[in-house]
Structure 1
């Protein structure tokens, strides 16, 4: 078994104070690097109803500026709420600041009814088409090639290395998009058996297009060991918000000590995951990173 590359999400929504005791966002990114983990991941979720949130590109820029080796991964940027040409210019700059350490995770977004979406003028319908249009244009724009977009031909300079593009989502449309545009597929919150089945479908879709099978970068939640109440609340949210059957939702979160976490990582690796990203749910964010790093060391032998 190949040991998957492990990433950790920096908090961008909800309880943003979890990092304060350890020195804040910059210290958190440095901590991940010092532990030898693979990447920091940044989610792009702003609701606009007073829920605390940080803007994803600014968070990624902060992480890139204070680290030297770890990857900087978007998991995922929501293309329908962003100007494609402006985003391309931001990615060019981030590639320069980071030394070409970006992974550009993108998706259609799951919150089109929120105040932020409405205020941004993002479409409730046609998000897939808008995402495909952006994906067709972004590589050329980032690379500094003349690119037609919005009725104009645009050439951005200085050119940058195009980062690997990872397509988020678990739907059939997301799989087709990953097979067509992606260097990787970025699903989340699936039991291992379902991930294995979807990975087989992705392999078939890529073969039909005569493309290499995209890398599979699976995302899940790590919950503190021994906190049954937090686990129950998380499972309940999956059932209520995502409509999962409880029997499925209970197999999603990862918890326990390093050995138990290593076993779960191995399970998802066997299901096809090349990379595994963890959102850390709990007050002791820095300590959870350390437990996760120990699990990775156990897998590596």
Structure 2
């Protein structure tokens, strides 16, 4: 259990309203202070008035006020971002942060949303765009001459200053297509909403596919929602989380309870141990609580207990 890393999602949606504009700074610093391993930001731009902070700016802010903690994108939506600009931004953040970036990539987000339409982001052949990003980003970030398809012809691009290539993760489910892409092209997998048994089965297959390709077993960073603690307000927040996620994911209450992190630090530590045994190398928690900083304290306690 001591090898399991634990991260936390930064408050980039409705929760930032209560924390205020200094919330990103406060949470990033507090997460580092309690000994967590990473802070993350999701790419959740919809454009219909839904509150969502842009993840590249969020993690750049976190990088500027921390020294050690890793910076995880979970995940950047490749179809909404020109590859050359994405490479330049990641290269800059990796260079300025001292190599702390973990680059999660995906094809999703919210295709068909106002934000996608405003960007004229493609809704088809998104898997091809993701594969191109996985193939080209390492060279671009490392400052190597790299060919990219341009509007009229192939362009040779070299970006500087060169930076250490961050690990490339792919977000997705447990389908054979997703697992094979990760096993053959990426360094890690970012799944979510899985039970320990489901995670174990998928990790076994992922490792088989990586071995067939002659590549190392990809790292697994599981995303979870959670509300820790046993105060009345914690129980109320937990009930609201179960209802909200059930509606969003179309899952039953029992199912949502099986894939979220709840209870006090000791109970949470036991749950973390189950997922570590199932194959998770890291667990990233997104809190659905009114008291973000207290949740970080409880998670820090759970981390200490889990490592014993």
TM-score by length of 2: 0.93
Q: How does 1:228-243 map to 2 (within 5 A)?
A: 228-243=235-250
Q: Is the contact made by 2:229 and 2:265 (CA closer than 8 Å) also made in structure 1?
A: no
In structure 2, how many angstroms separate the alpha carbons of the residues matched to 1:108 and 1:39?
Answer: 23
2:291 and 2:223 map into 1 onto residues whose CA distance is: 20
Provide the residue aligned with 2:180 in structure 1. 176
Offset, 1:20: 3.1
Cα distance in 2 for partners of 1:76, 1:217 equals 12
Residue in structure 2 matched with residue 221 of structure 1 by the alignment:
225
User: 2:10 & 2:199 partners in 1: Cα distance?
Assistant: 24
Indicate the SS of the match to 2:258.
Answer: coil
**Which residue in 2 is equivalent to 1:84?**
83
Gaps of 5+ in 1: none
Q: Between 116-125 and 266-275, report the one with greater CA deviation.
A: 116-125
Aligned to 1:189: 193
Contact 1:13 1:46 in 2 (8 A): no
Cα RMSD of the aligned pairs, angstroms, is: 1.6
CA contact (8 A) 2:77 2:105 kept: yes
What residue in structure 2 maps to residue 20 of structure 1? Answer: 20
The CA deviation string for residues 224-262 of structure 1, in whole angstroms up to 9 with x for no partner, is: 434444434433444433233554223111111100110
- Cα offset, 1:275, TM superposition: 0.5
* Cα distance in 2 for residues equivalent to 1:283 and 1:34: 20
Structure 2: how far apart are the matches of 1:300 and 1:286?
Answer: 21
Q: Residue 156 of structure 1: which of 154, 159, 183 is its match?
A: 159
2:304 is aligned to: 297
- Structure 1 partner of 2:106: 107
Shift in alpha-carbon separation, 1:3–1:19, aligned structure 2, 3 A: farther
**2:270 aligned counterpart, secondary structure:** helix
Note the 1:130-169 alignment, pairs <5 A: 130-150=129-149, 151-169=154-172
Q: Is the CA contact 2:95–2:161 (under 8 Å) kept in the aligned structure 1?
A: no
Instruction: Give, in whole Å, the separation in 2 of the partners of 1:18 and 1:166.
Output: 31
Which residue matches 1:210?
214
Comparing 261-270 and 250-259, the one that deviates more: 250-259
Moved over 6 A (4+): none
Q: Which runs of 5+ in 2 are unaligned?
A: none
State the secondary structure of the residue aligned to 2:104: strand
DSSP-derived class of the 1:279 partner: strand
Q: CA deviation at 1:24?
A: 2.2
- Say if 1:191 and 1:252, in contact at 8 Å, map to a contact too: yes
Secondary structure in structure 2 of the residue aligned to 1:250? helix
Q: Match of 1:201?
A: 205
**Paired residue total:** 300
Q: Work out whether 1:119 is the aligned partner of 2:80.
A: no
